[in-house]
Amino acid sequence: MMAKSIPVIPFAWYERAQRRKQSALTQIWEVLDQVKDPEIPVLSIWDLGVLCDVQAVEGKYVVSITPTYSGCPAMETIKADIAAALDAAKLQPYEIVTRISPAWTTDWLSPQGREQLQAYGIAPPAGGGCAQAQGLTPDSGIECPHCSSSNTRRISEFGSTACKALFQCQDCHEPFDYFKHL
Amino acid sequence: MSDFDLKAATQEYATRLGDDSVVLGHRLSEWTSNGPFLEEDIALSNVALDYIGRARMYYTYAAELAGNGKTEDDFAYTRDMREFRNLLIHELPRGDFAYTMVRQLFVDVFNTHYLPELAKSTDSTLAGIAQKAIKETRYHLRRSHEWALRLGDGTEASHQRMQRAIESLWGYTHELFDADPLEAQLADAGIGVHNAALRPAWLEQVSAILTEATLTVPKDDWAVRGGRVGYHTENLGHMLNDMQFLHRAYPGCQW
């Protein structure tokens, strides 16, 4: 039997984590950790991968964010929440810019974010597999966030928000959201 | 082309792509709360949202290039029908569910070929929008493909409705592969896409799906054109009436 393998960290996530680690603007990163996704309030915009970068440019803070999906209506709320958090912490002046390239990917979710999703009752995106490699949602086999059974089936490829699909567990019978791999 | 012309042409191109997206997005959104069942209602609303999101990105870029203080809302809500430059296939009324899914299939297959080309654009903003949209489009295509099979190879009634939708939409697909001088020059400049080159792959893929769904690929014996010069079907005006009413009656209104 092989020993339990070391979990593989997506390179995209590693890159993000390094960007933050090497940034001198520790305080502003921490303030922005308070900003949560309005649809999934357990998840910070950092853990979700929406927060790309923070820089100090010509005497102001430039906060770069990126939408998960093109039409994600949460972006306006996120911008307002960032502004409120920075105002409250007196981190001014600032500018919030929206970047669309490189395109957001679920690989940017932090390991902590994946755990928080699971605890909140949303199955985190599954890596690997043929369907997932093409950014598609599999028909079955996504682990139930409630009872951990893999005996699940897809009810709909779309869900309550652009980033989720709907599944049902065939063991505990609970329906649950699956955070789509993108 | 001089630099100035290229910028103006890119602005026009971004506007056209925004028009395609907002018009189809609005048509899809008309299914919200009218879907055949809950999951499908949610799916159509999600696809609509993706298109409206694309429109916002294209319009925001067009506004940025225009540099005259206009915003995405000015592009969507304050232009008249003749100023819209969307391809006609996007504006046709949603029809029955079969009609909506056949249109979606045609457009999804087109976009799975078009967007990877646009993603190679030397214009980094257009390339960025395309890269984002490709992933969504692949997701849409799987659903429109599955519905084509299910309805085409379904009951006699669903098969008939699908075939009728294919016949009524086929003549509108030719315009997807046209290029006026502006689009041809942009494609030559590495900014746009040579759409005509995409038709063989589109036709092959669409034909394979229709055949698998026991449906018949129509003959190319009619074509309607005019969207890119602002000649629309009567349907667009009615749609814009609905879409633009609030903004025109209460300019700048927010909630």
How many residues would you count in chain A? 182
**Rounded CA gap, B217 and B194, in Å?**
24
Q: Do B142 and A71 touch (CB under 8 A)?
A: no
Chain A, chain B: beta-carbon pairs less than 8 Å apart: 79
| B 14-43 → A contacts, CB under 8 A | 25, 39-40, 42-43
pLDDT the model gives residue A6: 67
Answer whether A73 sits within 8 Å of B49, measured CB to CB: yes
Residue from the list B25, B50, B135 with its beta carbon closest to the beta carbon of A135: B135
Neighboring chain B residues of A182 at a CB cutoff of 8 Å? 135
Cα separation, A55 vs A50, whole angstroms: 15
Which pLDDT band, with edges at 50, 70 and 90, does B32 fall under?
Answer: very high
- A101/B46 Cβ within 8 A: no
- C-alpha distances (whole Å) from B18 to each of A149, A179, B24, B85, B129 are 44, 28, 10, 9, 11
Number of domains in chain A: 2
Q: How confident is the model at residue A137 (pLDDT cuts 50, 70, 90)?
A: confident
Q: Strand locations in chain A, DSSP E?
A: 51-57, 60-65, 94-98, 122-123, 152-156, 164-169, 175-179
Looking at the fold, whether A166 and A137 belong to one and the same domain comes out as yes
* C-alpha distance from B130 to closest chain A C-alpha (Å): 9
Closest CA–CA distance from residue A179 to any residue of chain B (Å): 14
Considering CB atoms only, which of A69, A100, A180 is closest to B128? A100
Q: Among A114-128, B135-149, B191-205, B227-241, where is mean pLDDT lowest? A: A114-128
Residue type, position B191, single letter = I
Mutate to test the interface with A, among B135, B145, B150 (most CBs of A within 10 A): B135
Could you please report the per-residue DSSP string of B52-80? HHHHHHHHHHHHHHH-SS--HHHHHHS--
Residue A102 in any domain: the answer is: yes
What is the CATH classification number for the domain harbouring A96?
Answer: 3.30.300.130
Residues A22 and A93 in one domain: yes
pLDDT for B104-156, tens place per residue? 999 999 999 999 999 999 999 999 999 999 989 999 999 999 999 999 999 99
Does the beta-carbon distance from B53 to A104 stay under 8 Å?
no
Domain range holding A74? 11-108
Last residue within a domain, chosen from A79, A108, A137: A108
| Paired tokens of B2 | 């001089």
- Domain assignment present for residue A5? The answer is no
pLDDT in tens, A85-95: 999 999 999 99
B232 Cα distance to chain centroid = 14
Cβ atoms of A68 and A162 closer than 8 Å: yes
Contact list in B for residue A103 (CB cut-off 8 A) is 128, 131-132, 135
Q: Locate the chain A residue with the closest alpha carbon to B141.
A: A136
pTM equals 0.90
Q: For chain B, how are helix, strand and coil distributed in percent, rounded to 5?
A: 70, 0, 30
Residues A74 and A17 occupy one common structural domain: yes
Task: Quote the tokens at residue A161.
Answer: 């928000």
- Three-class DSSP category at A97: strand
A137 contacts in chain B (CB < 8 Å): 139
**CB pair distance less than 8 Å for B135 and A166:** no
Kindly state whether residues A97 and A151 are assigned to the same domain.
no
Same domain assignment for residues A18 and A104: yes
Could you tell me if residue A4 is inside a domain? no
Touching check for B143 and chain A: CB below 8 Å? yes
- Mean pLDDT throughout A130-152? 82
Residue whose C-alpha is closest to residue B196's, from B217, B174, B169, B172 = B174
User: Is residue B63 less than 8 Å (CB to CB) from chain A?
Assistant: no
Q: What is the domain class of B3-249 according to CATH?
A: mainly alpha
Do residues A161 and A72 share a domain?
Answer: no
Residue A88 lies in a domain: yes
Predicted pLDDT at B181: 94
Domain boundary among A56, A74, A108: A108
A33 lies in the same domain as A92: yes
Contact A178, A123 (CB under 8 A): yes
Structure letter (DSSP) for residue B250: S
Long-range contacts of B72-76 (CB under 8 A, 24+ apart): B72/B18, B73/B247, B75/B15, B75/B18, B76/B18, B76/B22, B76/B243, B76/B244, B76/B247
Distance from CA of B168 to the nearest CA of A (A): 28
Which of A108, A141, A163 represents a domain boundary (last residue)? Answer: A108
Give the pLDDT band (50/70/90) at residue A133: low
pLDDT at A132: 58
pLDDT of B1 over the 60 cut: no
Q: Residue A6: inside a domain, yes or no?
A: no
**B56 in A contact zone (CB under 8 Å):** yes
